[in-house]
Amino acid sequence: MDKILVSPNPHLHSKTTTAVLMRDVVIALLPAVLVSVFFYGWKELLVLAVSVLSCVLIEYLITRYCLKKASTIGDWSAIVTGILLALNLPTTTPWWVVFLGALVAIGVAKMTFGGLGQNVFNPALVGRVFLLISFPTYMTHWEIPQGFFGVDAVSGATPLGAIKEGLLQGATVPDLMAQHGYSYSQMLFANIGGSAGEVCAIAILLGFGYLLIRKVIKPWITLSILGTVALVSCIFWMADPAQFTDPLFNLLTGGLLLGSCFMATDYVTSPMSTKGGIVYGIGIGFITLMIRYFGSYPEGMSFAILIMNSTVPLLNNWFHQKKYGRA
């Protein structure tokens, strides 16, 4: 012992670092990734690869050459953004569109705000919404899952899209459900059209369970979104089952599960307190459903999360956790 270290307490540190947390999110996303690759095949693999590599590369180049700082790609957060962006895109998205999405996600939504921890909006969602508005043709061209070796892709609308379109033409919900042959077991075990990450509810819930067990996230935001969607859609559906889809359909379709388990729970862009998180979740659930029922887009999850992202500083100001010995 040639030197003696002196520093204030505590002298120990938990082994959980930012990189460990982000790596856990990547592990939690693996079931959804594997299922989507299994159903959509090499095309999905390509979208994933382009998205993840672009995100990492763009973050590296910006930190090293624009900000002239040490690279932050070691924290795994760019990989998380890359996977989430890919899971939010149709499998048929051309590689250069995926790259543009990554550029907006990392370059604009994350790094211009100062990098991880500073961004107001969820980067992957900003990337996705940018593409949705800029390249609507690519972004609404869905493919029905055909399996890994399925060569002839069949295009079709997502359940949410098909119902919305049908309703506009004057059909009723039960007719449309029967016409398209949608079943809940299909939605649970992956067989419906949609962006890659939306196809299998079970895979997403598996990842969510892993995040809960590893204590990466707490369940309140997710439960609050799902509860709000179930409750509000129940009210509308009971009022008019011909015009409004039922709660289970709303819970299992679109980006609701992926969004509520993995995107709305993003540390940086969600409230710090449990109470704030519940209010934030109610907002997301409500806005999503309003867009689905009354908006011109068939799905509103991305918009709902981004809108509620903007309220987070306010929610953090309003809601604090209970302090010891204070009312």
Terminus-to-terminus CA distance in the chain, angstroms? 50
Out of 60, 184, 189, 267, point to the residue binding another protein (CB under 8 A).
267
β-strand partners of 156: 142
Only one of the segments 17-25, 155-163, 202-210, 297-305 lies at the binding site for another protein (rule: CB under 8 A); that segment is 17-25
β-strand partners of 154: 144
Give Cα separations from 155 to 37, 88, 142 (angstroms): 17, 17, 6
Within residues 148-207, the interface with another protein by CB under 8 A covers: none
**Structure token pair of residue 162:** 């098909």
Amino acid letter, residue 152: D
β-strand partners of 144: 154
Cβ nearer to another protein, comparing 36 with 81: 81
Q: How many residues bind another protein (CB under 8 A)?
A: 37
Per CB under 8 A, 68 contacts another protein: no
Out of 117, 147, 174, 241, point to the residue binding another protein (CB under 8 A).
117
Cβ nearer to another protein, comparing 251 with 312: 312
Cβ nearer to another protein, comparing 125 with 199: 125
The torsion defined by the Cα of 76, 81, 86 and 88, in degrees rounded to 10, comes to: 140
Helix (H, G, I), strand (E, B) or coil at 11: coil
**Structure token pair of residue 164:** 């919305």
Which residue, 33, 32, 76, 27, is CA-closest to 210? Answer: 27
Shortest separation between residue 3's beta carbon and another protein, angstroms? 7
Cβ nearer to another protein, comparing 11 with 137: 11
Cβ nearer to another protein, comparing 83 with 268: 268
Within residues 36-65, the interface with another protein by CB under 8 A covers: none
Only one of the segments 40-48, 112-120, 229-237, 282-290 lies at the binding site for another protein (rule: CB under 8 A); that segment is 112-120
Cβ nearer to another protein, comparing 68 with 326: 326
Cβ nearer to another protein, comparing 6 with 239: 6
φ, ψ of residue 264 to 5 degrees: the values are -70, -20
Helix (H, G, I), strand (E, B) or coil at 76: coil
**Per-position DSSP letters for 38-101, written without gaps between them:** HHHTHHHHHHHHHHHHHHHHHHHHIIIIIS-S---GGGSHHHHHHHHHHHTS-TT--HHHHHHH
Maximum distance among all Cα pairs of the chain, rounded to whole angstroms: 83
Shortest separation between residue 322's beta carbon and another protein, angstroms? 5
How many CB atoms lie under 10 A from the CB of residue 257?
27
Per CB under 8 A, 3 contacts another protein: yes
Shortest separation between residue 80's beta carbon and another protein, angstroms? 11
Please tell me what DSSP assigns to residue 109: I
Shortest separation between residue 124's beta carbon and another protein, angstroms? 15
Shortest separation between residue 13's beta carbon and another protein, angstroms? 6
Residues near 72 by beta carbon (within 8 Å), at least 6 away in sequence:
59, 63, 78, 115, 116
- Residues 262/29, Cβ–Cβ less than 8 Å: yes
Per CB under 8 A, 118 contacts another protein: yes
Cis check for the bond before 247: say yes or no (omega within 30 of 0).
no
Out of 11, 169, 181, 294, point to the residue binding another protein (CB under 8 A).
11
Cβ nearer to another protein, comparing 11 with 68: 11
Within residues 303-322, the interface with another protein by CB under 8 A covers: 320-322
Which positions touch another protein (CB under 8 A)? 1, 3-14, 16-18, 20-21, 72, 75, 77, 114-118, 267-268, 272-273, 320-326
